Structure 1
Amino acid sequence: MFSYIKGTLEEYWEDTIVVESGGIGWNIHVPLSVLDRLPHVGEQIKVYTSFQVKEDSMTLYGFFGRQDLKMFNQLLGVTGIGPKAALGILSSLSPDDLRMAIIAEDSKAIAKAPGIGPKTAKRVILDLKDKVSMDDVLPLQFAGGQVEAAVTAAASGVDGAGKEAIEALVALGYSPTEATKAVRQVTITEDMNSEAVLKASLKFLAF
């Protein structure tokens, strides 16, 4: 029903922001990742929204990007995941980190979200593993090229899928050295893509 709402940020608290648009103050529930990036009160804001209707309520959920909104909607398609649980997952993991966790089949990372147990985390992976890929993850952003240089140096002699797997592990929070050490322990065959190498590498890393 609503693609996005653009207006003035009036106030915010906990998991909710109020955006005034067209003379109406819209209550929009957001993950922590949105709260951390809010402009100052009184400034303009554009929020991509999902409108959820239940028998006793109508609620707007908002995100700063269409890809983030897409991830939210994909979570709603998982058995046992409602809007509140989906928002909780996206407050614990950024959409890109969640995609990486799904690709890597890292259920422990997903289970850290409030109200999400091991079985539900595994269900998220099972239901979404064929719906996300490395191509969905935004390109890594390296401050001043320092991290990129560190990855390049550590990954010397590792090309193709192996190098991409190292970059993905660094995006997950591992150091270039840890990531490279894990990837080097994998026997990479010609038919393995970066996702396969990433999954195999994670077996050599302690979560």
Structure 2
Amino acid sequence: MIAYVRGILEGMEEDRIIIDVGGIGYGIYMSGTAMGRLPGIGKEVKVHTYMHVKEDLMQLYGFLTADELRVFKFLIGVSGIGPKGGLGILSALTPDDLRFAVASNDVKAIQAAPGIGKKTAEKLILELKDKLKLEDALEHAGESSVVSSDGIADASANAMTSEAVQALVALGYGNTEALKAVRQVEVTDGMNVEDVLRQALKYMI
């Protein structure tokens, strides 16, 4: 089992990258979203990996964070969703977007992924309800939006951004779009929930 690959990014193809590790090139399939976040060719990268073995086929799938890999494993555990399908879903939705879609039964959001029909999306929601926790997404929203002067996310600020997401949902916005909007707000000292909400609303238009 290869947990991760660290090496030099040698090339990028349509749906996979090549990482040179000690003179051996590893071909690793990745989502388009993840590939867009990679550094330039010739730079060192670390990619968390999942090895898919089937009969005479052996493929590596890569992710930039351990959370993406964990969500991917949940996805391919759903009947009817293979590795390519799971990668397609993570190309259309971030792990946190997926958590909100599952929590809010947003079938259309999941159907936005290539090759995912309504029945598969409904099955995914049913099977992952207890595995993809909404609390994790709210925690990530706070961590990514609020950082104190010493670089440590403040617990009260995390709670504030969570309240802003809930307020947007109460106003009638979807869970996924509410999370996206709040995550774009740059929260500074002295701001309150109303300030975060006001800024987030600008991204809803």
TM-score grouping bracket, smaller chain normalisation: 0.7 to 0.9
Q: Which blocks of at least 5 consecutive residues in structure 2 are unaligned?
A: 148-159, 170-174, 185-196
Provide the rounded CA distance (Å) in 2 between the counterparts of 1:161 and 1:61. 32
Deviations, residues 11-46 of structure 1 (Å, cap 9, x unaligned) = 002110000112210000001121110101000000
The equivalent of 2:179 in structure 1 is: 171
Q: Secondary structure at the match of 1:8?
A: strand
Q: TM-score, normalised by structure 1?
A: 0.72
Provide the rounded CA distance (Å) in 1 between the counterparts of 2:78 and 2:136. 18
Provide the rounded CA distance (Å) in 1 between the counterparts of 2:66 and 2:145. 22
Q: CA deviation at 1:93?
A: 0.8
8 A Cα contact 1:100 1:172, kept in partner: no
Question: Would the alpha carbon gap of residues 33 and 70 (structure 1) be closer, same or farther in structure 2, given more than 3 Å must change?
Answer: same
Provide the rounded CA distance (Å) in 2 between the counterparts of 1:97 and 1:22. 37
Question: What amino acid sits opposite 1:165 in the alignment?
Answer: Q
The equivalent of 1:77 in structure 2 is: 77
2:150 counterpart of 1:139: no
Alignment of 1:39-188 (within 5 A): 39-137=39-137, 138-140=140-142, 141-142=144-145, 163-166=164-167, 169=175, 170-173=178-181, 176=197
Q: Secondary structure at the match of 2:53?
A: strand
Q: Secondary structure at the match of 1:45?
A: strand
The equivalent of 1:6 in structure 2 is: 6
Provide the rounded CA distance (Å) in 2 between the counterparts of 1:32 and 1:75. 17
Question: What amino acid sits opposite 1:85 in the alignment?
Answer: G
Q: TM-score, normalised by structure 2?
A: 0.73
Question: What amino acid sits opposite 1:122 in the alignment?
Answer: E
Deviations, residues 96-147 of structure 1 (Å, cap 9, x unaligned) = 1111111111111001111100110011100001111123222343499xxx
Instruction: Please give the root-mean-square deviation of Cα atoms over the aligned residues, in Å.
Output: 2.7
Percent identical among aligned pairs is 43
Number of matched pairs = 166
Question: What amino acid sits opposite 1:124 in the alignment?
Answer: L
